[in-house]
Structure 1
Amino acid sequence: MDVILLERISKLGQMGEVVKVRDGFARNFLLPQGKALRANAANKARFESERATLEARNLERKSEAQKVAESLEGKSFIVVRAAGETGQLYGSVAARDIAEILAGEGFNIARNQVDLNNPIKEIGLHKVTLHLHSEVEIEVELNVARSAEEAERQAKGESLTSADAIYGVDEDALRPEDFFDPDADGLDEDA
């Protein structure tokens, strides 16, 4: 199906372009969301008459997104979750959770603006991309830890999942010779 784009859509085209898309994509996403119109003579004339207002609205949305991006620049958010000793979370941190955390900090971000291919399933520092506008995206840091104290230690660069942090053992001091006798053949000589 041919459609006229009413806004810039990444990997598809710019505002005003007539592009060919799959019927389902047009019917289920582009048309209901108001991102495109069916490409026919009447809609082409309608787009040309409304082009100035559409461009002004797009520019306004972009400037608002840039303001939010500037306020998010360099921010780190702490996420406290229960986790095992190896750092594996009991559950995960999904896009919905990230949107709620940002809302708690005063940022109005929808969960579909959070670019998270897979949920976060372990403690640590994680970079997450936010798509605030089709032309504005920003990366924020999530500090996933078991407690606020661990988050502070983790932010300083300390690893909470290493053997030293878990067991109080220096990993470099661990050698196989300390645990196994390389000369032993594994047979009991008295038998």
Structure 2
Amino acid sequence: MQVILLERVPKLGQMGETVKVRDGFARNYLLPLGKALRSNEANKKRFESERATLEARNLERKGEALKVAEVLDGKSFVVVRAAGETGQLYGSVAARDIVDALAADGFTIGRNQVDLNTPIKEIGLHKVSLHLHAEVEVSVQLNVARSTEEAERQSQGESLTSADAIYGVDEDALRPEDFFDPEADGAGEDE
């Protein structure tokens, strides 16, 4: 299906371009969200008459997104979740949870603006990309921890999944001899 793009769509084209896309992509995504029009003579004339207002609205949205990006860039957010001793979460942190963490600090973004390919499944510091506009992308740091105290220690660079943090043992001091005595009864004997 041929469509006229009403705004820049990543990996597809710029505003005003006529591109060929699959029918389902056009019917289910581009047309309902107002990102494109079917390519026919009436819609081409309509686009040309509305081009100035569309470009002005796009510039306005981009300006607003740039202002939010300046505030968000490099900012860190804490998400507290239950996790095992090894740092594996009992659930996961998804885009919805990131949106909630941002909303708690007064930022309103949609789930579709969070670029998270797979859910976060372990504690630690994670970089997350946010697409605020088709031309504006910003990265924030997500601090996933078991408690706020743990999040503070993590943000200072302390590893919370090492043996030292979990068991109070220095990993470098661990030797096999400390756990296994080769001269003990039955060790090394063939039965």
What is the CA–CA distance in structure 2 between the aligned matches of 1:122 and 1:169, rounded to whole Å?
21
Give how far 1:179 is off.
2.6
Provide the rounded CA distance (Å) in 1 between the counterparts of 2:130 and 2:74.
13
SS of residue paired to 1:47: helix
1:7 aligns with 2:34: no
Secondary structure of 1:9's counterpart equals coil
- What residue ranges of structure 1 are gaps of 5+ in the alignment? none
Matches within 5 A, 1:61-100: 61-100=61-100
Question: In 1, Cα distance between the equivalents of 2:105 and 2:81?
Answer: 18
- Secondary structure, aligned partner of 1:64: helix
Partner residue in 2 for 1:186: 188
Aligned AA (2:144): V
The alpha-carbon deviation at position 3 of structure 1 amounts to 0.2
Cα deviation for residue 104 of structure 1 reads 1.1
- Greater CA deviation, 16-25 or 174-183? 174-183
Q: Report SS of the residue matched to 2:132.
A: strand
Residue matched to 2:167: 167
Secondary structure, aligned partner of 1:102: helix
Once superposed, which parts of structure 1, at least 4 consecutive aligned residues long, lie more than 4 Å away? Answer: 181-185
Which TM-score applies when normalising by structure 2? 0.95
Cα offset, 1:90, TM superposition: 1.2
Structure 2 counterparts to residues 112-191 of structure 1, below 5 A: 112-181=112-181, 186-187=188-189
CA distance in 1, matches of 2:108, 2:180: 57
The CA deviation at 1:177 is 3.0
Q: Which runs of 5+ in 2 are unaligned?
A: none
Mapped partners of 2:177, 2:12: distance in 1: 60
Name 2:101's counterpart in structure 1.
Answer: 101
**TM-score, scaled relative to structure 1:** 0.95
Paired amino acid for 1:16? G
> 1:62 & 1:109 partners in 2: Cα distance?
14
- Corresponding letter in the other structure for 1:154: Q
Q: Is the 8 A contact 2:182 2:188 kept in 1?
A: no
Alignment of 1:11-50 (within 5 A): 11-50=11-50
1:136-173 deviation per Cα after TM superposition (whole angstroms, max 9, x unaligned):
00000000001111000000000000000001111101
Q: Partners of 1:147 and 1:84 in 2: how far apart?
A: 13
SS of 1:92's equivalent in the other structure is: strand
- Separation in 2, partners of 1:2, 1:88: 47
- Aligned pairs, number: 189
CA deviation profile, 1:92-143 (whole Å, cap 9, x unmatched): 1100111011111100110110010111111000000000000000000000
User: Which amino acid is the alignment partner of residue 172 of structure 1?
Assistant: D
Write the distance in 2 (CA, Å) between the matches of 1:182 and 1:109. Answer: 60
3-state SS of paired residue (1:142): strand
SS in 2 for 1:90: strand
Residue 111 (structure 1) aligned with residue 111 (structure 2): yes
